[in-house]
Amino acid sequence: MTKMLKGIAASDGIAAAKAYMLVQPDLSFSETSIADPEAEIKRLDDAVATSKTELEAIKAKAAENLGAEEAEVFEAHLTILADPELLGQIKDKITSDKVNAEAALKSVTDMFISMFEAMTDNAYMQERASDIRDVTKRILSHLLGVTLPNPALINEEVVIIAHDLTPSDTAQLDRNFVKGFITDIGGRTSHSAIMSRTLEIPAVVGSGNATSEVKEGDVVIIDGINGDALVNPSEAQLAQYQEKAAAFAAQKAEWKQLKDAKTVTADGKEVILGANIGTPKDVEGANDNGAEAVGLFRSEFLYMDASELPGEEDQFVAYKEALEGMNGKQVVVRTMDIGGDKELPYLPLPEEENPFLGYRAVRICLERQDIFRTQLRALLRASAFGRLAIMFPMIATVKEFKDAKAIFEEEKAKLISEGVAVSDDIEVGMMMEIPAAAMIADKLAKYADFFSIGTNDLIQYTMAADRGNERVSYLYQPYNPSILRLIKNIIDSSHKEGKWTGMCGEMAGDQVAVPLLLGLGLDEFSMSATSILKTRSLMKKLDSAKMQELADKAVNECETTEEVEALVAEYTK
Ligand code: PEP
Ligand code: MG
């Protein structure tokens, strides 16, 4: 029977493929006493051997798709599997306690995990704890005869169905086979959704029940434009899907014509359309989609892709590659924004009740200056290879900005005294994503060279609605007059000081928001690369004076988000 799933449209595009359930199986078991330890040891040996074959295949695939460094984690797992000390203790326990292999495995590995985890000042050992946990899960799955999902081994076209995907799960998806993904939870601005747009695969998030409604192997049509999906569609529905997919492809081809054009409104006003990127590899997609700048390089993805803190040299190479790839166009690199939903396994942060309100981004950098200074030095060295701008994330106060800027100036002076080539016109700006900062934008504009409005966070903090929680997604209202007033204050304050304002939150590419933002005087719009061409096409149809009138009305007269939407429709008819 055909079923319909409704969620949040997270990434454009339409696809049909078999479902791949990326769901953790039930690994529960009970401890039992056994009569034949030899047989039990054999069960363990078999499960270890199968795990080994599986891990070798995953490692080879990871090396091929992601590079040798990414494959190293699986090498670590293989080393644990071959550890005679660990296996010996498990076997001893089976023999001495006469318990089943599952119970012996769990008891011994738990002991090692607790021991390593207790070494809180040793990131290396903490990582080993997490490796042992993964390996235990794998052996246990074979003892229990259940299958763990292995997304790295996917070798046919699939639509992934998952409760949630972490940014690192998303980074591992192979675009050749993964045609889309549907999750139970998440919002349009959760980081896995943002990455799906960079990867240009359709995604529907926050469906509520995909993992319970879909079974492995079901045929799924995913529609990332409307945010819905059909499970086991009829022939007629499949034909309809093909028509829709063809129309979408034709529309994309038409937009492609604008790739090398400037972004100009109907009345001749020019604005800049930039791309948001996560790694230098994304520069190619930015250029293919006609980006005039990189308005946001989420540098934390360099940290998340590594297995230890990336050093100055590795970072320098990455920033230089992005700057050279953009060929003289501006690249705004945001300094590390770890915390919230972006974790680093090798930099364990204390458990927090409210990670999005916690120890995050510049708050970490001002304390862990070793990490911050390394990044700034790498950026400064790279600045000689293109047009670099730097911005600090999550600035709430004037003092935070001044402190971060002072550290930047210190590192710059040091490098210059060491005779290193450094550009002398690096703009240093800040993200505007905390309401407190937006309210004192006039003060901050005296110090920052530019602002970049991070609406993904600004909206969640203004509305007090978690950006990744689909239950409160109705409050996630980019066009609410409250948000528009903050944006207006930010843009006007920067202009008064002769500075500029960009926007790198997802709102910048939102087709209803664009007319409003143009009217509010936004200078630069930075978005997922795949939204650039359709936005350029929209800009051609808009008259900036008329949009100014629209924005004035929305800010001063509208009471609700619905009223603003209706007004935009009226002004863009
Ligand atoms: C934002 O908050 O709008 C933003 C661009 O940063 P991130 O989505 O990475 O938090
Ligand atoms: Mg943010």
Assigned CATH topology for domain 3-23+151-247: Glucose Oxidase; domain 1 (3.50.30)
**By C-alpha distance, which of 345, 339, 295 is closest to 503?**
295
Give the Å distance between the CA of 275 and the centre of ligand 1: 13
Q: Which of 226-235, 274-283, 321-330, 339-348 has the lowest mean pLDDT?
A: 339-348
Q: What's the pLDDT score for residue 168?
A: 61
pLDDT digits (tens, 9 = 90+) for 559-572: 999 999 999 999 99
Ligand 1 close to Cβ of residue 504 (< 6 A):
yes
The two three-digit tokens of residue 449, written as one number: 């060279």
Q: Residue 562: what are its φ and ψ, rounded to 5°?
A: -65, -40
Query: Residue 70: what pLDDT?
Result: 64
**Poorest-confidence range of 411-415, 472-476, 496-500?**
472-476
- Give 188's pLDDT tier (boundaries 50, 70, 90): confident
Mutate to test the pocket of ligand 1, among 188, 189, 458 (most ligand atoms within 8 A of CB): 189
Strand order of the β-sheet with 14-22 is 3-6, 228-231, 219-223, 14-22, 158-162, 178-183, 203-205, 8-11
pTM, rounded to two decimals: 0.79
CATH number of 37-144: 1.10.274.10
Q: d(Cα 469, Cα 193) in Å, to the nearest integer?
A: 13
Q: Mean pLDDT throughout 86-97? A: 95
What's the confidence (pLDDT) of residue 24?
Answer: 83
Residue owning the nearest CA to atom 3 of ligand 1? 454
Cα distance between residue 383 and residue 492, in whole Å: 29
**pLDDT tens across 58-87, in order?**
888 777 766 676 677 788 889 999 999 999
Using CA atoms, how far apart are residues 570 and 554, in angstroms rounded to an integer? 12
Contacts of 303 (CB under 8 A, 6+ apart): 309, 310, 336, 338, 344, 347
Would the CB of 337 count as within 6 Å of ligand 1? yes
For the chain, what are the domain ranges?
Answer: 3-23+151-247, 37-144, 257-572
Question: Which pLDDT score is estimated for 71?
Answer: 73
Contact 461, 438 (CB under 8 A): no
Distance in angstroms (rounded) separating the CA atoms of residues 450 and 441: 11
d(CA 521, CA 550) in angstroms, rounded, equals: 12
Reply yes or no on whether the pLDDT at 194 is more than 90.
no
Nearest CA to ligand 1 atom 7: 456
Catalytic residue among 142, 365, 504, 558: 504
Q: Is 191 a catalytic residue?
A: yes
pLDDT at 204 over 80: yes
CA 439 / ligand 1 centre spacing (Å): 18
CA of 483 to the centre of ligand 2 (A): 15
Q: Which atom of ligand 1 is nearest to 456's Cα?
A: 3
For atom 8 of ligand 1, which residue has the closest CA?
456
> Is the CB of 128 within 6 Å of ligand 1?
no
**CATH class given for the domain over 257-572:** alpha beta
223 beta partners: 14, 228
Q: Tokens 């240009």 label which residue?
A: 200
558 is catalytic: no
DSSP state, residue 247: H
> Tens of pLDDT along 490-503?
999 999 999 999 99
**Which contacts qualify for 230-234: CB closer than 8 Å, 24 or more apart?**
230/2, 230/3, 230/4, 230/5, 231/2, 231/3, 231/4, 231/5, 231/19, 232/1, 232/2, 232/3, 233/2, 233/16, 234/2
pLDDT in tens, 497-554: 999 999 999 999 999 999 999 999 999 999 999 999 999 999 999 999 999 999 999 9
Residue type, 233: P
455 lines ligand 1 (CB under 6 A): yes
Q: State whether the beta carbon of 93 lies less than 6 angstroms from ligand 1.
A: no
**Overall average pLDDT of the 452-475 stretch:** 92
Question: Would the CB of 510 count as within 6 Å of ligand 1?
Answer: no
The pLDDT of residue 232 is above 80: yes
Average per-residue pLDDT for the chain = 93
With bands split at pLDDT 50, 70 and 90, how would you rate the model's confidence at 253? very high
pLDDT tops 90 at residue 243: yes
Mean pLDDT is highest, among 187-201, 343-357, 381-395, for 381-395
Residue 336 Cα, ligand 1 centroid: separation in angstroms?
12
Which ligand is nearest to the Cα of residue 509, counting in written order?
Answer: 1
Q: Which letter, b or e, does each residue of 342-381 get, where b requires 16 or more Cβ atoms within 10 Å of its Cβ?
A: bbbeebeeeeeeeebeeebbbbbbeeeeebbbbbbbbbbb
Cα of 457 vs centre of ligand 2, distance in Å, is 5
Ligand nearest to the CA of 277: 1
Name 494's Cβ contacts closer than 8 Å, sequence gap at least 6. Answer: 441, 445, 450, 451, 500, 501
What confidence score (pLDDT) does residue 545 get? 97
Confidence of residue 148 (pLDDT cuts 50, 70, 90): confident
Quick one: pLDDT at residue 167? 64
Separation between Cα atoms, residue 67 and residue 331, nearest integer Å: 26
pLDDT at residue 198, as a whole number: 79
191, 365, 495, 558: which is the annotated catalytic residue?
191
- C-alpha distances in angstroms, 360 versus 333, 339, 343, 429? 17, 4, 10, 18
Residue the block writes with tokens 């509208």: 558
pLDDT of residue 532: 96
Percentage of the chain with pLDDT > 70? 97
Q: How far apart are CA 393 and CA 432, in angstroms?
A: 8
Burial of 421 (0-12, 13-18, 19+ CB in 10 A): exposed
360 touches ligand 1 (CB under 6 Å): no
Closest to 248 measured CA to CA, from 271, 223, 268: 223
Q: Ligand 1 centre from 456 Cα, in Å?
A: 5
454 lines ligand 1 (CB under 6 A): yes
Contact 195, 170 (CB under 8 A): yes
Q: Is 298 in the pocket of ligand 1 (CB under 6 A)?
A: yes
Query: CA-CA distance, 33 to 47, in Å (whole number)?
Result: 19
